[in-house]
Amino acid sequence: MNSTGSVRVRFAPSPTGFLHVGGARTAIFNWLLARHTGGVFVLRIEDTDAERSTDEMIREILDGLEWLGIDWDEGPHFQSRNVDRHREAAERLREAGRAYPCFCTVEELAAEREAAIARKESYVYGGRCRAISREEADRRRAAGEPHTIRFAVPAGETAWEDVVHGRTAFENRTIGDFIVLRSDGAPVYNLAVTVDDLDMGITHVVRGDDHISNTPKQILIYRALGADPPVFAHVPLILGPDKSKLSKRHGAIAVTAYRDQGYLADAFVNFLALLGWSPGDDREVMTRQELVDAFTLERITGKSAVFDVEKLEWLNGQHLSRLSGREVAAIAAPWFERAGIGRLTEPQGDGDWFANLMALVKTRSRTLHDLVEQARPFFPGPVEYQPDAVEKFWQDPSAALAALAVAVDYVESEDRWGDLEAMEGRLRSLAEERGVAAGKVMQSMRVALTGQRVSPGIFETLTAMGAALARERLAAAREWLSRRVAGD
């Protein structure tokens, strides 16, 4: 906590790539902590690597966060604008005797590294330039001799109480005197992050396990600058189904790819929040507010979590089916426009029709993509008869034609559209009159109307479709079947 006692967290992506699912989960955990505690969520773009950072990736990251509904209270700050602060801090460390200029050349360092490898030791800088007197170092610096600035790591160990992993300690001799400023004056990640986190009053650093080895260096810098380190929580990595680190090999890892595949932002946030965290009870389908209410860092598990697309699909279906038809309509409308399917207000001419249709198809859909496919037959235009539907219900074209003849008369004579029970009663009695099994009529009609083997209830389908379109579809199906009977 800072002096005002409030939590301040940050998400600090490097714009060298897309917002991937691991980064998004880090953002979500930070955001949930901020929202749960009434704290502040800061967005900081770590663009100090000018060569690899691009404006396009910055836009992609902001787009991804926006889609997820992860809003920030401060920022985006751009790390590259704070370089003077980073250099100042390096100078302060130098003044305090906690950092020193290193004049070793690239060749000297390479030779040191090779010698360590030959001894089968892991390499850390040997500290040769630490011994150079301040006067000599100043003289050489003033003469323009190229140098980096290294942190003088003290003896001992550096430890912290990680919220996720408990006490975590590194022997300082395994860290070695690390560079904080490069010879061109560019700050190194560990310095830049620490100075920015301090300047921004960050109280909790929640990030991936891949940063654990950076943390002792950052803690050493905090202390050398006379500051208390924040609370650290390192979140286990996300794995693919084969238990290796999630990567492109496992499928899409860019967050926006999931948007484009038709997942709901709320479902995706729910899914990512459950990768390595749980509410402590058996809840899985959770709204954003429920996640905010339940979230604590202490419930992050220390074990890696597997990215399971089937679970994501299931969760998405659950979220879809819990929305009202009207809510689904609002989210899905652009999908229908993109798919070029009819006008949304047909055939009844009001928005209710579309909302009702969404209410009808949402329970059978796992993604927005599914939803469009389920809803497609309700819009004008021909339907495609799915081979499995034909195989199952139209195997005998003559029998199907006989069933559809009943269906046509039924549609012509029905005048209680929307009263599902009355509709069914009427169809059953007509079928009985004609000596055709009612089930056959309904099944054949389903294929004719939707092209599919499964659909919402046939009377709901008819009602949503309207008599005119139903008539058209039945006529087209009869033609198709007649051609079959004729052996075309």
Q: Annotated catalytic sites, by residue?
A: 248
How far is residue 172's CA from residue 158's CA, in Å, rounded to a whole number? 6
Cβ–Cβ < 8 Å for 245, 237: yes
Part of the chain binding ligand GLU (CB under 6 A), chosen from 10-18, 28-36, 70-78, 465-473: 10-18
> Nearest approach, Cβ of 45 to ligand GLU (angstroms)?
9
Part of the chain binding ligand GLU (CB under 6 A), chosen from 9-17, 59-67, 178-186, 412-420: 9-17
> Nearest approach, Cβ of 199 to ligand GLU (angstroms)?
14
How far is residue 396's CA from residue 406's CA, in Å, rounded to a whole number? 16
Dihedral sign for Cα 404, 469, 367, 287, please. negative
> Nearest approach, Cβ of 85 to ligand GLU (angstroms)?
16
Q: Where in 202-221 is the site for ligand GLU (CB under 6 A)? A: 207, 211
Part of the chain binding ligand GLU (CB under 6 A), chosen from 11-19, 129-137, 293-301, 410-418: 11-19
Binds ligand GLU (CB under 6 A): choice among 61, 180, 188, 193: 193
H or E segment at 18?
Answer: none
The answer to whether residue 62 forms part of the interface with ligand GLU (CB under 6 A) is no
How far is residue 242's CA from residue 239's CA, in Å, rounded to a whole number? 8
The answer to whether residue 150 forms part of the interface with ligand GLU (CB under 6 A) is no
> Nearest approach, Cβ of 125 to ligand GLU (angstroms)?
22
The answer to whether residue 13 forms part of the interface with ligand GLU (CB under 6 A) is yes
Q: Kindly write out the interface string for residues 327-346 of this chain, putting x where it contacts ligand GLU by CB under 6 A and - elsewhere.
A: --------------------
The answer to whether residue 198 forms part of the interface with ligand GLU (CB under 6 A) is no
Nearer to ligand GLU, 14 or 80 (CB): 14
Nearer to ligand GLU, 222 or 417 (CB): 222
DSSP letters spanning 377-402? GGSSS--PPPHHHHHHHSSSHHHHHH
As a three-state string, the secondary structure of 33-91 is HHHHHCCEEEEEECCCCCCCCCHHHHHHHHHHHHHHCCCCCEEEEEHHHHHHHHHHHHH
Nearer to ligand GLU, 277 or 459 (CB): 277
How far is residue 341's CA from residue 180's CA, in Å, rounded to a whole number? 58
Q: Where in 19-48 is the site for ligand GLU (CB under 6 A)? A: 46
> Nearest approach, Cβ of 160 to ligand GLU (angstroms)?
14
Part of the chain binding ligand GLU (CB under 6 A), chosen from 8-16, 115-123, 347-355, 428-436: 8-16
The answer to whether residue 325 forms part of the interface with ligand GLU (CB under 6 A) is no
Nearer to ligand GLU, 9 or 315 (CB): 9
Q: What are the tokens at 450?
A: 């939707």
CB atoms near residue 157 (< 10 Å): 13
Residues near ligand GLU (CB under 6 A), total? 7
- Residue 151 CB contacts under 8 Å (≥ 6 apart), including other chains: 93, 98, 99, 177, 178, 179, 180, 217, 220, 221, 224
> Nearest approach, Cβ of 46 to ligand GLU (angstroms)?
4
Helix, strand, coil percentages for the chain (3-state, nearest 5): 55, 10, 35
* Helices 438-450 + 458-465 axis angle, to 10: 40
Closest-CA residue to 14 (of 82, 85, 80): 80
Nearer to ligand GLU, 78 or 335 (CB): 78
Nearer to ligand GLU, 14 or 261 (CB): 14
The answer to whether residue 94 forms part of the interface with ligand GLU (CB under 6 A) is no
> Nearest approach, Cβ of 215 to ligand GLU (angstroms)?
9
Nearer to ligand GLU, 49 or 284 (CB): 49
Closest-CA residue to 126 (of 137, 117, 113, 145): 113
Part of the chain binding ligand GLU (CB under 6 A), chosen from 12-20, 244-252, 343-351, 372-380: 12-20
How far is residue 48's CA from residue 402's CA, in Å, rounded to a whole number? 73
Q: What are the tokens at 129?
A: 């330039």
Nearer to ligand GLU, 30 or 461 (CB): 30
How far is residue 396's CA from residue 393's CA, in Å, rounded to a whole number? 8
How far is residue 31's CA from residue 37's CA, in Å, rounded to a whole number? 10
Closest-CA residue to 40 (of 202, 148, 254, 194): 202
> Nearest approach, Cβ of 49 to ligand GLU (angstroms)?
9
Binds ligand GLU (CB under 6 A): choice among 14, 183, 304, 386: 14
Binds ligand GLU (CB under 6 A): choice among 12, 99, 149, 274: 12
Start-end of H helices in 96-237: 106-118, 134-142, 189-199, 215-224
The residue ranges that bind ligand GLU (CB under 6 A) are: 12-14, 46, 193, 207, 211
